[in-house]
Amino acid sequence: MSSATTAAVLPDAVPARAADSWYPLRRALEAVLAPLVALGVAGVLFSVFLLCLGQSPLDFLDLVWRGAFGSWFSIQNTVQRAAPLLLTALCVALPGQLGLVIIGGEAAVVLGGLAATVAALPLVHGGPFLVLPAMAIAGIAMGAFWIGISGWLKARLNVNETIASLVLAYIGLALFNHLVEGVLRDPSSLNKPSTYGIGDGNMLDTVPWLDVHPGLPVGILACVLSWVLIYRTSFGFASRVTGGNVRAAQLQGLPVTRLILVACAIGGGCAGLAGAIEVAAEYGRANASLNAGYGYTGILIAFLARFNPLAIMPMALLLGGLTAAGGLLQRHMGLPDATILVLQGLIFVSILTSDTLYGRFRWFQPRGTA
C-alpha cells in the first residue's frame, strides 16, 4: 500500500492522549502553518523567476494585492470567481474520502446545467419558486448520475475510476455539444448556439447586500454539510476507513460498494448543482459558456485542501484571487497570461510538497506518556 495516497485522507487513527489537551490545537496549527510556509516558499521562488525576467517582485505583490484582495471590488471579484469552485471541488473531495480520484467533474457541471435547463423549460411560466427547485433537483440528479457511472464501474467492475471519469468527461462534453447544437437548440440563437431560455423572471439574483454570485452561500453550505457528513456521521467514518484500507473495511463488513456509489453520487450532485446555479444565475440557458473549466479547477482545489471540505474554502479563495489578479498582471506588467499558470504551478508543487512536513516536527506531536 502506498502510504503517499492515503496520507491526505487518513482518519485520525491515533486519538489524542487525554493528558495532552493542547494536542488538537497544535495539530490544527500544523495544518495551517505547513501550507502557509509552502505559500511563502512559492512566493520566494516566483520572485526569483520575476527577477530573472527583469521584473520587480514588489510591483507584482502590489498588483496581486490590489487585484485580488485590496478593495471591496477586488474581494468581490475574488469571491465571485471562487464561488462555483466550492461545489466542483466537493465533487473530488467527497469520493476522495474513499481513496477515489474522480477527475471528470467538468462533464457533471455541463450536463447538470443542461438537465436543469431542460427541467425548467416546461415550467417557465410557473415562476421562480417552481423553476428553481426543479432546476436544482435536475442538476443534482444529472451530476449524481454521471459521476455515479464512474463509481458504479469502479464498485462493480473494478474499472479504474480516474480513467473512467476522465473518458466520461470527454463523452459527456460531446453529448452536451451535440444536444445543445442539435435537438435542444433554440433556432433563434444564431451565432452562439444555445438552448431555449429559462426566462429572465426565473433567474437567480445575486446575494443581496454583497452583490456576489448566489453559488457562494450554496457552496459554503455544501462545504459545511460535507464536513459534518465526513467527520460527524457513521457514513463519513466508514468512508474514511475504506479510504485508509479497502481490505480492512471489507473485512469489517463495511458496505464498500454502497459507500462508493453514495460518495460519487453526492460529489457528482454537487458539481451538477454548480452547473444548475451557473445557468440560473448567469446565462439563463445552456450553452458553451458552461464549459468554463470549473470542474478541472475544482480538482486542484480539492487536492490542495487535502480533501477537507472546510479547507476547500480558503483554497478556492486563493485560486479565485490569483485569477482575479491575473488580469492586472497582463495589463500593468505586460506579462503574458501564462504567468499566473506558472505561479499556480509553483504554489501547487510547493503546497503538495509540504505534505511531507506533517509529523516531522516533534512539537506538533501528541505528548504525555511517551
Partner 1 sequence: MPADTLLATDVSRRRLLAGGAAGLAALGLPGRRASAARPLIVGFIYVGPKDDYGYNQAHAEAAAMLKKTPGVSIVEEERVPESDDVSRTMESMIRLDGATLLFPTSFGYFDPYMLRTAAKYPNIQFRHCGGLWQKDKHPMNTGSYFGYIGMCQYLNGIAAAHATKSKKIGFVAAKPIPQVLVNINSFTLGARSVDPAITTSVIFTGEWSMPVKEAEASNSLIDQGIDVVTCHVDSPKVVMETAERRGIFACGYHANQSKLAPKGYLTGAEWNWITVYRQFIDDALNGKPIPNFTRGGLAEGFVKMSPYGPGLSDAGRKNVDSVKAEMMKGGYTVFKGPLKDNKGNTVIPAGTAYPETAIQLESLNYLVEGVNGAIA
Partner 2 sequence: MEALSTVLLAMLAGSLRVSTPFLFVSIGECLTEKSGRINLGNEGVLVLGAMVAYATSYETGSPWAGVAAAGLAGLLLGGLHGAVCSLARVNDVAMGIAIMLAGTGLAFFFGKPYVQPTAPLLPGIPFGFWSSSAQVRNALLVCPLFLLGIAAAVAMEWCFRATRVGLRIRIVGDSQDAALAMGLPIARTRFLATACGSALAGVGGAFLSLYYPGSWNEGLSSGQGLMAVALVVFARWNPINCIYASLLFGAAGALGPSLQTIGITWGYYLFYAAPYVVTLIVLIITARGGRSLRGMPGQLSIGR
Shortest CB 153 distance to partner 2, Å: 7
The answer to whether 301 touches 316, Cβ cutoff 8 Å, is yes
Tell me the C-alpha distance between 271 and 277, whole Å: 10
Tell me the C-alpha distance between 64 and 323, whole Å: 9
Count of alpha carbons within 13 Å of 318, Cβ hemisphere only? 20
Residue 191 interacts with partner 1 (CB under 8 A)? yes
Distances in Å between the Cα of 214 and the Cα atoms of 16, 217, 218, 274, 280 are 39, 6, 7, 10, 9
In this chain, which of 11, 37, 55, 193 binds partner 1, going by CB under 8 A? 193
Residue 313 interacts with partner 1 (CB under 8 A)? no
Distances in Å between the Cα of 148 and the Cα atoms of 169, 178, 218 are 12, 22, 22
Residue 364 interacts with partner 1 (CB under 8 A)? no
Near partner 2 by CB under 8 A, which window of 59-67, 118-126, 205-213, 355-363? 355-363
Residue 175 interacts with partner 2 (CB under 8 A)? yes
Tell me the C-alpha distance between 320 and 68, whole Å: 8
In this chain, which of 20, 181, 186, 355 binds partner 1, going by CB under 8 A? 181
Residues 300 to 319: which contact partner 2 by CB under 8 A?
300, 303
Contact partners, residue 336, CB within 8 Å, separation at least 6: 330
Residue 29 interacts with partner 2 (CB under 8 A)? no
Task: Count the Cβ atoms, other than its own, within 10 Å of residue 168.
Answer: 22
The answer to whether 93 touches 267, Cβ cutoff 8 Å, is yes
The answer to whether 260 touches 98, Cβ cutoff 8 Å, is yes
Of the two residues 97 and 323, which places its CB atom closer to partner 1 in the complex?
Answer: 323
Residue 209 interacts with partner 1 (CB under 8 A)? no
Near partner 1 by CB under 8 A, which window of 37-45, 73-81, 266-274, 346-354? 73-81
And the C-alpha cell for 121? 423549460
Residue 283 interacts with partner 1 (CB under 8 A)? yes
Residues of this chain that bind partner 1 (CB under 8 A): 66-67, 70-74, 77, 80-81, 177, 181-182, 187-188, 190-193, 213, 282-284, 287-289, 292-293, 323-324, 327-328, 330-332, 336-337
Residues of this chain that bind partner 2 (CB under 8 A): 1-5, 7-8, 99, 101, 153, 156-160, 162-164, 166-168, 170-171, 174-175, 177-178, 181-182, 246, 299-300, 303, 336-346, 348-349, 352-353, 355-356, 358-359
